[in-house]
Amino acid sequence: MFVPTPHIEAKKGDFAKTVIMPGDPLRAKLIAEKFLNDPVLVTSVRGMLGYTGSYKGKRVSVMGSGMGMPSMGIYSYELFNFYDVDNIIRTGSAGALQPELDLGDIIAAMGACTNSNYASQYGLNGTYAPTASFKLLKTLDEVCAECGTGINIGNILSSDTFYSADVSQNEKWKAMGVLAVEMETAALYMNAAYAKKNALAMFTVSDCIGTDKAMSAQDRQNSFTKMIELSLETAHRIGE
């Protein structure tokens, strides 16, 4: 396929090798305008905003992914395969399952369990285990250690359903030590593996499932500063 693609209007070379990818395109706009030097809007098809600028002298891009694995699957596939992107760092929100996690805590997904059928396309005779790029995860861990930021690393769940008819499922995943629930990472990790590229997902806890603790929509959009800074520092270390 040639670029522009059906979903991204950017030209070849418009994206940096590393893309920070929040779900919300307005959060992508906020990151670009607040953290990047000289950000340029390179795509806005269907309101899915993408920018390229620089951070501490290194080129980096930021683009929304939308909600759910089908949306993440499309955008990350096109970035990896048609725009020569090597690294995608997802920055999102997640609902905590484990009682030791609280609002604002940061999680990095070492692995992504899923109830999705996304892996069926590969025709594997078994169950595929989507995992983060060790290179990116190790770099993030080093960044966190150096700046004294605590981070929780482990398994998360990428769910196809936000409102599930089976309310018992969260307790079952919790019993297996799964840290939190979100809706995109498994597709991102599978696309990265198939394209032989790198991916990492990190989250700020926006609600604690089974309790009344939850951030407002405005907080979700604007208050994830620490996670964004960590993602940009990671991008800086592995970037152009």
Q: Which residues are catalytic?
A: 207
* Token digits of residue 165: 């008819």
**CA separation for the pair 15, 208 (Å, rounded):** 35
**CA separation for the pair 9, 174 (Å, rounded):** 41
**CA separation for the pair 12, 7 (Å, rounded):** 14
**CA separation for the pair 236, 240 (Å, rounded):** 8
**In Å, what is the CA distance from 163 to each residue of 75, 167, 169, 201?**
24, 9, 11, 22
Instruction: Give the contacts of 56 (CB within 8 A, at least 6 positions apart).
Output: 236
Q: Which residue, among 104, 117, 111, 109, has the nearest Cα to 73 in the 3D structure?
A: 117
3-class SS at 198? Answer: strand
**In Å, what is the CA distance from 176 to each residue of 67, 157, 163, 164, 182?**
25, 11, 21, 19, 16
The answer to whether residues 212 and 102 touch, using CB atoms and an 8 Å cutoff, is no
